């Protein structure tokens, strides 16, 4: 028996709803494979602010450090838009959590599910055969640089060290070795000094991986090529802000942001797992939220932080069955509620041969 011990952060908006569905599926995994669940739930973001706490309470951070595995729903919303700087849910919770846990490598997949190809806004010919991941550097760059406002305007500093670039590049090349053995590094080296550093260090790392092909693309060109020749990519390596933009663009290839998980990793087994979508406060509490990305994020957690490959595959197989069978929420053409999708997938996990 393995104890799956993790910190659960429901967060804001639809976070608690999709989180509850994911926990239900994890309960099913524990029952089928005879594991124990140890869930330590804490407040974060706007929910913490509403409780009179900081966006990232000390108790929450302490639990995340102890467990080393975090399942996060969503953070933020317009309710807290009047707050400034680190008092905001995102700036005061997500960024320091990434920094404190050294979660420097964010991985997001772009692999259209066959059942969703007809729901994407692009023609099928642009989607069939697409299977790449974006490896985004998550703790450096413009989001973490010096910021300020003066009598001339405002500024945000973008800074990268060689060490920061090298460690994320190694992650990307290691990942590519087990995939299609290709890394595409995305930068803006024709303009930015940080990108010229980025390109030089990536090429140095590439020399240690002779079996992995490396090419470079400027970020503005990548925004086009990602949608018109997505089949050409394997591991897309890029810096923080470019990665933030490109991963949302990549969601167009998948038909819905509601089916895309993400993992933010440090060294070893420390990781934070969350859907790429936001808190969607306009549909919160209505049972309309699609929980598949959160459920798939839970699958990534049991695989990457606990080494439970069969359990992760069981969750992913159940999600596949839900998509093929139309046991989904209205945004994907189904008629089930958030909790009903979680119930269906949990039943399939426990009895995979029963539809």
Range 104-257 classified under CATH 3.40.718.10: yes
Residues in a beta bridge with 11: 74
CA distance 82 to 197: 37
Write down the catalytic residue from 27, 131, 232, 248. Answer: 248
Contact 119, 258 (CB under 8 A): no
The answer to whether residue 143 is catalytic is yes
pLDDT of residue 302: 97
- Architecture of domain 1-103+266-355 in CATH? 3-Layer(aba) Sandwich (3.40)
The per-residue pLDDT for range 92-133, each reduced to its tens digit, is 999 999 999 999 999 999 999 888 888 788 899 999 999 999
Q: Which of 104, 126, 187, 188 is labelled catalytic? A: 188
What tens digit of pLDDT does each residue of 238-289 get? 999 999 999 989 988 987 788 999 999 999 899 999 999 999 999 999 999 9
Domain regions of the chain by residue span: 1-103+266-355, 104-257
Q: How many whole angstroms separate alpha carbon 285 and alpha carbon 126?
A: 36
Residue 219 and residue 200: Cα distance in Å, rounded? 16
Q: How far is Cα 47 from Cα 26, in angstroms, rounded to an integer?
A: 23
Catalytic residue among 40, 232, 244, 331: 244
Helical residues (DSSP H) of the chain, grouped into ranges:
15-33, 46-50, 58-67, 89, 95-100, 162-177, 193-206, 219-228, 240-250, 292-304, 309-325, 338-350
Q: Above 90 in pLDDT, residue 320? A: yes
Task: Determine which one of 126, 143, 160, 273 is catalytic.
Answer: 143
Given 38, 87, 174, 220, which residue is catalytic?
A: 220
**pLDDT over 60 at 19, yes or no:** yes
- Please compute the mean of the pLDDT values over residues 303-323 and round it to a whole number: 96
| Residue 211 falls in the annotated catalytic set | no
Residues 87, 95: Cα–Cα separation, whole Å: 12
pLDDT at 252: 87
In 3D space, the residue among 192, 195, 140 whose CA is nearest the CA of residue 168 turns out to be 140
Q: Note if 248 is an active site residue.
A: yes
Q: How confident is the model at residue 30 (pLDDT cuts 50, 70, 90)?
A: very high
| Model confidence at 353: pLDDT above 90 | no
Percent of the chain whose pLDDT exceeds 90: 90
The stretch 282-299 carries a mean pLDDT of: 97
């Amino acid at each position: 028996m393995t104890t799956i011990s993790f910190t659960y952060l429901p967060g804001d908006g639809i976070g608690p709803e999709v989180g509850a569905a994911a926990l239900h599926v994890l309960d099913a995994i524990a029952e089928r494979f005879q594991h124990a669940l140890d869930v330590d739930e804490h407040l974060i973001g706007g929910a913490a602010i509403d409780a009179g706490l900081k966006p990232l309470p000390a108790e929450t951070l302490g639990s995340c450090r102890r467990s080393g595995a975090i399942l996060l729903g969503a953070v933020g919303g317009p309710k807290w838009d009047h707050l400034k700087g680190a008092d905001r849910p995102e700036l005061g919770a997500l960024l320091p959590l990434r920094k404190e846990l050294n979660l420097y490598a964010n991985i997001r997949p772009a692999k259209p599910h066959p059942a969703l190809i007809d729901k994407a806004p692009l023609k099928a010919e642009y989607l069939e055969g697409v299977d790449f991941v974006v490896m985004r550097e998550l703790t450096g760059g413009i989001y973490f640089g010096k910021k300020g406002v003066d009598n001339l305007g405002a500024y945000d500093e973008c800074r990268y060290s060689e060490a920061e670039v090298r460690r994320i590049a190694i992650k990307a090349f290691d990942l590519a070795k087990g995939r299609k053995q290709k890394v595409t590094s995305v930068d803006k080296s024709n303009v930015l000094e940080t990108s010229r550093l980025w390109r030089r260090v990536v090429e140095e790392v590439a020399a240690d991986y002779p079996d992995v092909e490396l090419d470079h693309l400027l970020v503005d060109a990548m925004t086009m090529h990602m949608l018109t020749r997505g089949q050409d990519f394997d591991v897309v390596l890029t810096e923080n802000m470019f990665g933030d933009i490109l991963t949302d663009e990549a969601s167009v290839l998948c038909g819905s942001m509601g089916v895309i998980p993400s993992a933010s990793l440090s060294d070893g087994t420390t990781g934070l797992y969350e859907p790429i979508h936001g808190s969607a406060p306009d549909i919160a509490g209505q049972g309309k939220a699609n929980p598949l990305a959160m459920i798939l994020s839970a699958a990534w957690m049991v695989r990457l932080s606990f080494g439970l490959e069969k359990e992760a595959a069981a969750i992913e197989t159940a999600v596949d069955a839900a998509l093929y069978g139309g046991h989904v929420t209205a945004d994907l053409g189904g008629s089930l509620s958030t909790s009903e999708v979680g119930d269906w997938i949990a039943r399939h996990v426990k009895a995979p041969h029963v539809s």
